[in-house]
Chains A and B, each alone.
Chain A
Amino acid sequence: GNSVTQMEGPVTLSEEAFLTINCTYTATGYPSLFWYVQYPGEGLQLLLKATKADDKGSNKGFEATYRKETTSFHLEKGSVQVSDSAVYFCALSDLGGAQKLVFGQGTRLTINP
């Protein structure tokens, strides 16, 4: 079945550091790929998405590129802020039936000032 694997957390960085959170997937066909973010005490919010190979999703300084050849969708940001501290989930849309998101296990990110 379809699956998503994220890098293990937690990740702790200093403010203005470069961020990469790795995400790889296994899927049949060509799913859409998403990054969702969960701030403390809140529900998930869509951060960015890409719907086909080589698409780059971007939002709030975050970027991720849909790489079909490596089945990856790594999240990057050039200079993180304390306000980026959250849990980040990589997900893919399951094409097997109804729209269903298959999530990775989440990566907790903490940014220290």
Chain B
Amino acid sequence: EAQVTQNPRYLITVTGKKLTVTCSQNMNHEYMSWYRQDPGLGLRQIYYSMNVEVTDKGDVPEGYKVSRKEKRNFPLILESPSPNQTSLYFCASSLSTGVWDEQYFGPGTRLTVT
């Protein structure tokens, strides 16, 4: 089944404890992206990747890192999480970087930082 998977789905952690949220897609998609969803703000892009070893900042990159060593994986790293990073996170992928391409979203990771 074609899908984007994320792990974990739920995570509660404490301020400053490094964590990684994994994202994997099995559709051989070129483009991958991370968004965060906050009430009243919709989704905002954190980072994106147009191909292996090519990543760039989105609108809200502060406090996050990413890597794209393999085409299928695009982990999101929080080196020192803070409470303002409590949010619902979505990974997405699309076949190419054409602006008309549908993006496929993972099921989301709900992160709480205390």
Flag if B41 contacts A99 (CB, 8 Å). no
Q: Which residue of A lies closest to B98 (CB)?
A: A99
Q: Which residue of B lies closest to A89 (CB)?
A: B42
Given A43-B106, A45-B105, A93-B99, also A100-B45 (CB < 8 A)? yes
B74 at interface by CB-CB < 8 Å: no
Give me 28 A-to-B residue pairs in the complex whose CB atoms sit less than 8 angstroms apart, sorted by A's number: A4-B42, A31-B99, A42-B107, A43-B4, A43-B90, A43-B105, A43-B107, A43-B108, A44-B92, A49-B100, A49-B102, A51-B100, A89-B42, A89-B43, A93-B99, A93-B100, A94-B99, A98-B97, A99-B94, A99-B98, A99-B101, A100-B33, A100-B48, A100-B58, A103-B43, A103-B44, A105-B40, A105-B41
Which residue numbers of B lie inside 8 Å of A, CB to CB?
4, 31, 33, 40-45, 48, 50, 56, 58, 90, 92, 94, 97-103, 105-108
